[in-house]
Structure 1
Amino acid sequence: MNSLISLVSVVLVFGLILVLAYLVSRALGKTWHLGHNSKYMKIIDQMVVGQDRQILIVRIKDRHYLIGSSSKGVELLKELEGDFPDTDGVGTGGENTGSFLQYYHLYQEKYKELLGKHKFGKK
């Protein structure tokens, strides 16, 4: 009987530790970017495209950049043109938060227009 009580108590304590670890990791995940405030830079949006790979839209002063990040390093992909509204945080899903796909399609449309002008000799 004592061994059954010991086994149940060990399982309950282990389960409690797992639940607490899960709750703490969720709380840290939601507030992690708050501790990394920067005076001149802000991540406008980000999208995970693979294991340890993501694409970010970063605002530095009044310019926007498309940046790729992976385990091999960080690479500037392109300076973006256009207006990207500020959000209250990355991935918060607020009403004024545009999705990465919206920004990507906006950039893609402008890039196609630019390519179309240069293909046909129009500048």
Structure 2
Amino acid sequence: MEILTAAGTMAVVAAVLFLAWWCTRKLAGGSAYRGQSRYMKVIDRVAVAQDRSIILIQTGQKIYMAGVASSEITLLAEIEEDDLVPITGQTESPFQDVSFKELIQKVGGKKKNG
């Protein structure tokens, strides 16, 4: 009899947790990243730290690279669609002999002082 009571209690707790989760999703309208836009879309995203990522955003015919942190978004570069090359299961980076600073300067198009 005690086993049935324990199982019943577990079922009620599981049902309450499920209903709380379901109501939260319905009230919040799903994930913030699922929102649809008529004029732009995120075409790729890569996490570079716990709360930082780099994203590619397409607006019409233009593609922008932006750095996203928890408190800000920074435009890094405008990229031509022809410059995008899909990466497929590479084990070695084609940029292994290039420093990060050189890559940023190449993407940014000009060297910044400071």
Asked whether the 8 Å contact 2:62–2:81 carries over to 1, the reply is: no
Q: Secondary structure at the match of 2:82?
A: coil
Who is 2:69 aligned against?
70
Answering whether residue 57 of structure 2 is matched by residue 58 of structure 1, we say yes
* Distance in 2 separating the partners of 1:63 and 1:52: 26
Who is 1:81 aligned against?
80
- Cα deviations across residues 34-92 of structure 1 (Å, max 9, x unaligned)? xx22222111111122222211100122111111111121111111123388xxxxxxx
Q: State the TM-score, normalizing by the size of structure 1.
A: 0.50
Alpha-carbon distance change, 63 to 74 in structure 1, aligned in 2, over 3 angstroms = same
- Percentage identity across paired residues of the two chains: 27
The amino acid that maps onto 1:37 is Q
Shift in Å at residue 4 of structure 1? 3.8
Shift in Å at residue 12 of structure 1? 2.3
Q: State the TM-score, normalizing by the size of structure 2.
A: 0.53
**Alignment of structure 1 residues 1-80 onto 2, 5 Å:** 1=1, 3-18=2-17, 21=21, 28=30, 33=34, 36-80=35-79
> What is the RMSD computed on CA atoms of the aligned residues?
4.0
Q: Secondary structure at the match of 1:6?
A: helix
* Distance in 1 separating the partners of 2:36 and 2:83: 19
Q: Of the two structures, which has the highest relative contact order with CA contacts closer than 8 Å and spacing of 6 or more?
A: 1
